Chains A and B, each alone.
Chain A
Amino acid sequence: MKKSGEELIKLIDIIPDESAKEGEYGLIELASIADSREVRNDDIVFAGTGLPMLGMMTANMLHAPNATLIFEAGIVDGKSMHIPMSVSDQRACYMASSLGGLVDIFGTYLQSGFVTLGFLGGAAIDKYGGTNATCIGDYHNPQHRFPGSGGAGDIGSLSARIVYFIIQEKRRFVEKNEFTTTVGWWCNDWKTGKWRPKKEIYRDTIFADTGPSAVITNMAVFRFDDSGIMYLDTVHPGVTVEQVKENCGFELNVSMVSGETTSPTYKELFILREVVDPEGIFLPIAPEYPSDIKEIIEKA
C-alpha cells in the first residue's frame, strides 16, 4: 500500500469501527489488538522487543495517545515512524523526549515506581503468572537453554501491572515453572526456601501489590483471581473453552469466563497493518480486507 502519512491519517478517521469477522484477521493480529486494549491513556509502558511493541503502538494511535513508551536501552517516549526491531533500535529514538541508559530506565524509572504497565512476551508461564525464559530441565543440565532474563525479570517484578503475550501451547502453560525467571503472584523466598505470595516477599515496598494483570494468547485472555491464580476470562472468536483447556498444561479455572474476546475492528486492523508494522517485520501476511473496506482504502 503506497499511501502518504496524511492519507493514512485520513483513512484512520473514515475506516469503520466495526468488528471484523472471523477469517478477516490473523491470530497474531487478534492478540496484538487485545494487547493494545490493556493500555490506558495515562500509562507509562515499559515494553519488550517484538509483539509487545505492536499493541502499544496501536493503542497510541487510538484510545491511548498519551500513553508513554519506554525501552530498556534508554529510550523515553520515542515517536517511531518505522517499527523498531529491538529495544535499542535507532528507529525507537526518533523524537524521543530523552535518551539515557539502563541505569536510568531500570534504576530510576522502573525502581522508583513510574512504570504502570509492563508489556512482555515469554516462552512459558505458570498458573501463578511467573514466566520462564531461562531453561527447560535442571538448571545445570538443561534439555534446552534460552537467553535468560534480559529486562523481563525486572519489568515483571517492578511494574504496577504486567501484561504477557504468550503462544498458547500445553508445554508453555505449566503448573509451575522449572525455572522462574520473572516472578508472578507467587514466588520463592530464598531465606526459607518456601513458595510464598509475592506480597510477602515484597512486603513494605511499593511493589507488594503489583503483578501480572492479563495473559493474552492466540486463543484467549486470562486474568488472575485474588489468590494470584490464573483463570480464563475470554476466548477469542472461533475458539472454544474446551480447546483452551486442551492447550493448557494445568487444571484451568474456567468458572469465571466472561464471554468472547471482542474482535478487532477494521480501524484497529488498519492501524496495526498499515501504520504500526507495514514492513511485515513482526506480523505474518494478513488476510485481505473485505471488499467494502478495500474500496474505502483504494478511493482515498
Chain B
Amino acid sequence: MLRFRTRKKTEILSLEEAVKKYMHDGACIAHGGFTSFARKPAAFVWETIRQGFKDFHVVEKGGGYTTFMLRATKRIKIEESCWFGWGEMVGKLDVNFEKQFKSKEITTAEYSHGGMSMRLLAGAMGIPFIPYYGVMGSDIYNPECDQFEKEELRDGKNPRIARKKFLQMEDPFYGEGTLYLLPALRPEIAIIHVPKAGDKGTARWEGVSSTDKELIFACDKLILTCEEIVSEEKMRENPTQNQIPSFAVDAIVECRWGAHPTGVPFYYDYDAKFMQDINKASMTEEGMKAWLDEWVFGPKNWGEYLKKLGVERLEGLRVSSTTGYSNKLMRGRVAPPNITEPLSVIKSGF
C-alpha cells in the first residue's frame, strides 16, 4: 500500500479508551512478544474481547496467548501465521484452532517463522516483497494449500492481502539458485507490550525482541501498552537501550501486569499454572465459557482482574533483578535448584 509516513503525535490513553479509539471489526492486527512466554499484549486483547470487536485479520509470527484468547471467543476470521499453537507449557495445541480450522471459521495463509519474519522485515522497510531460501520444497508452498487463493481473497480488493502467496525466482545477480519472493506484511494496527515508555513515546524492552523491531515499522498504527510510563528525559539517559522512537508511536497505555499470564523480563515471570488451567477449561465449550465469564467478562476492569489474581499469585511471579525471571517459580515436579552461576560456565568457561 502506497503511503508516505508522517510523524505521529503520541497520546496517552487508558486501556478502555485505546481499544475504543483504535480497534474496529475486521481490523488487520498483529501482536508483539513471543508465544505465551514473553510480552504478549494480554490486557489489550482482553479489553478488545470485552468491547466486542470481531472478524479480525490477524497477521503474526507465531501465535500464543493472545491469538488463543481471540480464537476462544471466535474473533478471528482470517489468519496469516506460521504457528497456530499456544503455550508450550500446555503441549502447544490449541483445540479451538483445530475446531475453527476444520469448520472453516478461520481461513489461513500458512508460512514458516523465517518466512513470516522476512515478510515483516519487508513491511518495515517499505518494500513490497523479499527473497528467502527457507522451506523450499515444503507443502507450505504447495499451491493447493493456499486457502486465501481458494477463498478468492487474493483478488487485490483487500490492500492488506497479497495477490500471490509467493513467487519463485532464479537469482539474477550471482546465480545462487532459486529463491522464494515473499510479500510484505503490513498490519493496520500493531500492539506491543513493553516494560517502559517515555511520555512522548520513546520505548524499550529487555530480553528477546522477537519480531517487534520489524512490527513497529511494518504497521500503520502502533499502540504500546507498558508497565510504566516515565518521563521522556529518563528514557534519553540511556539511548542505546531504546528500540522504539517516539515518532512511530500512536498511543501509549500504562497497564501494570499488562502481559499476564505471559511474562515481562525483569518485571514478572510467566504464569504457567494459570495457562495450564485455561487449557484444561478450553477442552469443552462449557468449560471455556465458564472460564471466560469468570476471568474476562467478570471483572469490571483490569484492576479488578489483578485484584482477583491476588497478591499471593502475583508475588509468586516476582523476578530476580539479576536474572530477570523468578528463581523460585514452581514449573515442574521439583522446585528449582538454588544455583547462582551457570554450571557450564563454572566447568568450562565461555
Give the interface of A toward B (CB within 8 A): 2-6, 8-9, 12, 49-50, 57, 60-61, 65-66, 72-75, 77, 79-82, 85-91, 93-95, 97, 99-103, 106-107, 110-111, 134, 139-142, 144-154, 157-158, 177, 179-183, 187-191, 196, 198, 201-205, 207-208, 275, 277-281, 285
A103 B213 Cβ-Cβ under 8 A: yes
Q: Can you offer 19 A-B residue contacts whose CB atoms are under 8 A?
A: A4-B338, A12-B347, A65-B344, A66-B348, A72-B113, A73-B210, A88-B208, A90-B37, A101-B208, A107-B121, A110-B114, A110-B134, A141-B102, A142-B101, A147-B83, A154-B114, A188-B141, A205-B177, A278-B337
In the assembled complex, B191 has its CB within 8 A of some CB on chain A:
no
Which single residue of chain B is at the shortest CB-CB distance from A80?
B342
Evaluate contact between A202 and B136: CB separation under 8 angstroms.
Answer: yes
* Pairwise interchain contact A99-B209, C-beta atoms closer than 8 A: yes
A90 near B263: Cβ-Cβ < 8 Å: yes
Q: Are B134 and A148 in contact (CB under 8 A)?
A: no
Cβ-defined contact, A187 with B137, below 8 A:
yes
- A142 to B334: give the CA distance in the assembly, Å: 39
B331 contacts A281, CB within 8 Å? yes
Which residues of the partner chain A approach B118 to less than 8 Å between Cβ atoms? 103, 106-107
Is the CB–CB distance between A100 and B138 below 8 Å?
Answer: no
Q: Dominant SS at the B interface?
A: loop
Given contacts A103-B211, A139-B139, contact A8 B343 (CB under 8 A): yes
Q: A50-B88, A73-B210, A280-B333 are in contact. Are A95 and B139 (CB under 8 A)?
A: no
Known: A91-B323, A106-B113. 11 other contacts (CB 8 A): A3-B337, A9-B346, A66-B348, A80-B342, A102-B61, A180-B137, A182-B135, A188-B139, A188-B141, A190-B141, A281-B332
Q: Within B122-150, which residues are at the interface with A (CB < 8 Å)?
A: 132-145, 147, 150
A74-B209, A91-B325, A102-B117 are known contacts. Are A275 and B343 too (CB-CB below 8 A)?
A: yes
From B89, B93, B138, contact of A187 by CB (8 A): B138
Question: Roughly how many angstroms separate A86 CA and B91 CA in the complex, as a whole number?
Answer: 11
Chain A residue, CB-CB nearest to B38:
A88
A158 vs B113: C-alpha distance in the bound complex, in angstroms? 13
- B145 and A280 contact, CB distance less than 8 A: no
> In the complex, A191→B167 CA distance in Å?
10
| Pairwise interchain contact A86-B37, C-beta atoms closer than 8 A | yes
In the assembled complex, the CB of A173 is this many whole angstroms from the nearest CB of chain B, namely 19
Q: Bound complex: CA of A182 vs CA of B140, how far in Å?
A: 9
The total number of A-B Cβ pairs within 8 Å is 285
Does B339 lie at the interface of the complex (its beta carbon under 8 Å from any beta carbon of A)?
yes
Among B35, B133, B138, B348: residue with most chain A CB under 10 A: B138
Minimum-distance CB pairs A-B, first 3: A187-B137, A147-B85, A106-B114
Measured between beta carbons, the chain B residues less than 8 angstroms from A141 are: 102
On whether the beta carbons of A188 and B137 are closer than 8 Å, the reply is yes
CB < 8 Å neighbour of A88 from B34, B81, B115, B133: B34
Q: How far does the alpha carbon of A86 sit from the alpha carbon of B87 in the complex, in Å?
A: 9
B252 is an interface residue with CB less than 8 A from chain A: no
Q: Which residues of B contact A (CB under 8 A)?
A: 34-38, 61-63, 81-85, 88-89, 92-94, 97-98, 101-102, 110-118, 120-121, 132-145, 147, 150, 168, 171, 175-178, 207-214, 263, 265, 269-270, 272, 319, 323-325, 327, 331-350
Contact A279 B327 (CB under 8 A): no
Chain A residues with Cβ below 8 Å from B37 are 85-86, 88-90
Note all chain A residues with C-beta closer than 8 A to B350. Answer: 77, 79, 97
Report Cα–Cα, A85/B36, bound state, in Å.
Answer: 11
Once A147-B94, A201-B136 are accepted as A-B contacts, the answer to whether A190 and B168 lie under 8 Å apart by CB is yes
Which single member of B88, B133, B270 contacts A207 (CB below 8 Å)? B133
Q: Chain B contacts of A191 at CB under 8 A? A: 168
Q: How far is the CB of B100 from chain A (nearest CB, A)?
A: 9
Selected contact of A149 from candidates B97, B140, B143, B336, CB within 8 Å: B140
Contact A90:B323 (CB < 8 A) given known A73-B210, A111-B133: yes
Contact yes or no, A81 B88, CB < 8 A: no
CA A5 to CA B83, docked complex, whole Å: 37
Bound complex: CA A85 to CA B275 (Å): 13
**Cα distance, A148 to B101, chains bound together (Å):** 12
